Amino acid sequence: MASRALLLAVAVVVVAGCAVGLSGATDHIVGANRGWNPNINYSSWSANQTFYVGDLISFRHQKGTHNVFAVNETGYDNCTMDGVTGNWTSGKDFIPLPHPGTYFFICGNGFCQAGMKTLSEPCGLALERCCFDRVTTF
């Protein structure tokens, strides 16, 4: 009987911990107060970011002039639409990072060559704050 109560208590703690981790998601605004615009060094911005699974990356930009495309690595490297998996155009675009891996984002209106591209690599869950910091932009 005591072991059953202990097992239930552990299960409650684990579930509560997961709920706290999910509610603690961070919204990373690309470029901070400068937003998603050409000729900005996104490497400086990303150097201060730590992405975790469940976080959001958001792009604030001039609707109609800029946009955001999720592309594959080839599209990112060459500023092309290779492997497009998403397109956002609202000017306040919130994109979830639901799993570990590398996410590649570019502006598809010809501004990628002017530096409007970034990638993020979320690691672990928000509860796992021991993972390494890793976000890179070029």
pLDDT computed for residue 48 by the predictor: 82
Q: State which amino acid sits at residue 45.
A: W
pLDDT-derived band at 19 (thresholds 50, 70, 90) equals very low
For the segment 70-100, what is each residue's pLDDT rounded down to a tens digit? 999 999 999 999 999 999 999 999 999 999 9
pTM score of the predicted model: 0.73
The residue among 81 and 22 whose pLDDT is bigger is 81
pLDDT over threshold 50, residue 9: no
Which domains occur in the chain, in start order?
26-120 (2.60.40.420)
The tens digit of pLDDT for each residue in 100-119 reads 988 999 999 999 999 899 98
